[in-house]
Structure 1
Amino acid sequence: MDLIEWLASRSQAVSLVEVVQALALPKSSTLLLLRTLVDARYVTRQADGRYLLIRLPGEPSETNSGWGMILRVAEPILRETVAAIEETGFIAVLTGDWQVRYLNKVLPMREIRYDRDIATQRVAHYVASGLMLLSGLADEDLEAYLRLSVPDEDDPGAIAARVSAARREGYVANLHGRVEGAAGVAAPIRDPEGRIVAVVNMSGPRERIANNLSRVTEVTVEAARRASEALSRRMFKSEKSPARN
C-alpha cells in the first residue's frame, strides 16, 4: 500500500531506482512488488522500463467490477437522501451468479425503521434492487437467468414482465417485499456507457412507503441520477489522468 500511495503522488512514470531510493526498499523486493502491480493492472511498465500507476484499488478494470469506486461516489449521496426522507438506504449490485449484494446500509435517525442483514445475498427477482439490476442484463442473459435461477414455484413470465416494466419506467417500486411489512424503491446507477452497474434502494415500513410513494420514488431516482453523474466524472478522470498529482 505504501508503494501504491507513493506512485499515486507521482505525476510522471518512475524508474525502479527511484522507487527503491524513495521507499528505502530492497531492489529485488521492489521489483517483485512492481511486477505484482503490473500483473494486477494497477501499474503499467512502459517501453523505457519506467512504471506508471494507471488505477487505484476499487477502480474498474477488465477484471474488476469497480464496486469500491461505486460505493465511494454514491455513499455521500445516499446519506443525504436518507436524511431527507428518513428511510433506510442501500447501494446494491449484481454478483456474477445473479445474486443481489448490498455494499452498504445507511439507517435513518428515527425510532421505527427498516433494517436488514446486508451480509446475506438476495435472490434477484425477490427484491426491488434485484429487479432493477436484472433490467440491465442483455436479453440473452436475462433469458439464462429465467431458465437457470428461477425456482419451479416462481413464474418466469411474471418476472420478465416486472423486469420489462423496470426498463420502461426507470425504477422499481415493490410494496410487497419478501420481508413482511417492508417495501422499497430502487433506481439504477449507470456507468458512462449507460450500463446499470448498481442501484440505489430506499426501504421502509410498507404503510409509510406506500403513503409517501411519490416522494420516495422521486428522491430515489434523483439520488441514482446524481450517483451516475458522479461515477461518470470519476471514471472519466481516471481514464484521462492515470497518474495522480
Structure 2
Amino acid sequence: MATSTLESGVGVLDKASLLLGVLEAGPASLSRLVSATGLKRPTVHRLVLALERLRLLARDTQGRFVLGPRLGLMAAKVRADHLAAVAEPVLCELRDQTGASARLFRRRGRTRVCVAEAVAPGNPAVRDRTPMGVPLPMNAGPVSQVLLAWERPEELYEGLRGAMFTASTLSGVRRQGWAHSVGGREHGIAAVAAPVRGPSGRVVAALSVSGPAARMPSAQGRDLVSSLVDAAVRLSRVADR
C-alpha cells in the first residue's frame, strides 16, 4: 500500500487521506485510485462512496472522482478568516481615503456576510447599517453583484432568481471590474464594490465602500473607484499567501 507522510494512526482516516492525496493531482477513476493507493478495490469503493455522500468527493462528466465542493467551502472559510484577520489596516486606510465606511464581505451559500469593517462617522438619521456576521440576502446591491458576477453559469443564474438586478447588470460588472448602486440595499445609501480574488483568480470576497448618497454624490468618481480597486488588489495579494 502507498504510504503518506501524514498519518493519524487511525486506519480508516489514513486510507481516506490517501485517496484525497491522489485526487489532489486531478480526476481519477476507481481503478486508478486502487493502483495508486495499493488498497483493495472493495475498500476503495466503500470509502469513495462514503466520501461522495459527505460531499468530500464528487464526479466529473466522465464519471471520474474529483475533490468535492465541501472541501472548497472549508478552504474558503479558512481564507475568509485569514482575510478578516488582516483586513483591518486596509479597511481603515480605505475609509480615511474615501470618507465612507469600508467593509469586506464573504459569500455564504445564498447569503453574504460582513466579516470585517471600518465604519465612517455619520449622521445617525441616515445611517449605513450592516450588521457584522449576520447573513444578508444576495438579491440587491453591488456587493451581491460582485460576489455573483464571476460565478459559474449555473450559480450565476440561480443567484438571479428573485434578484433586483439582471444578467446584463452582471455582464457590465465583469466588463468594468466593479459595481455601483444608490439605494440598492438601503434607501439613501450609495455603495461601490470590487472583487477580492484568491490564488486561482476566483472571487473569494467583495470589498465595498458605502455611505449616505448625499455625502457620496460622485460614487462612481475616478478617485473613489481607484482607491477601492487598489485596496481590493492589496487584499487579493494577502489572499494568495
TM-score by length of 1: 0.63
1:212/1:183 Cα in 2 relative to 1: closer, same or farther (>3 Å)? closer
Q: Distance in 1 between matches of 2:121 and 2:189?
A: 18
Q: Does 1:218 align with 2:218?
A: no
Q: Does 1:79 align with 2:87?
A: no
TM-score by length of 2: 0.64
Q: Does 1:229 align with 2:237?
A: yes
% same residue: 24
Instruction: Please state whether the residue corresponding to 2:129 is helix, strand or coil.
Output: coil
TM-superposed CA distance for 1:128, in Å, is 1.0
- Is the 8 Å Cα contact of residues 175 and 183 (structure 1) preserved in structure 2? yes
- Is the 8 Å Cα contact of residues 209 and 216 (structure 1) preserved in structure 2? no
Equivalent AA in structure 2 for residue 136 of structure 1 = W
Number of residues of Structure 1 aligned to a counterpart in Structure 2: 181
Q: Does 1:120 align with 2:131?
A: no
Runs of 4+ with >6 A deviation: 13-16
Q: Does 1:178 align with 2:178?
A: no
- Is the 8 Å Cα contact of residues 125 and 159 (structure 1) preserved in structure 2? no
Q: Distance in 1 between matches of 2:7 and 2:132?
A: 44
Equivalent AA in structure 2 for residue 69 of structure 1 = H
Q: Does 1:139 align with 2:153?
A: yes
**Which deviates further from its counterpart, 120-129 or 159-168?**
120-129
Equivalent AA in structure 1 for residue 101 of structure 2 = T
Q: Distance in 1 between matches of 2:145 and 2:6?
A: 46
1:231/1:15 Cα in 2 relative to 1: closer, same or farther (>3 Å)? closer
TM-superposed CA distance for 1:82, in Å, is 1.0
Q: Does 1:162 align with 2:176?
A: no
Q: String of CA shifts for 1:201-235, please: whole Å, max 9, x gaps.
A: 11011122223531221211111011112221x1x
1:14/1:193 Cα in 2 relative to 1: closer, same or farther (>3 Å)? closer
Q: String of CA shifts for 1:9-29, please: whole Å, max 9, x gaps.
A: xxxx9999xxxxxxxxxxxxx
Q: Distance in 2 between matches of 1:220 and 1:193?
A: 21
Q: Which has the higher contact order (CA 8 A, sep 6+)?
A: 1
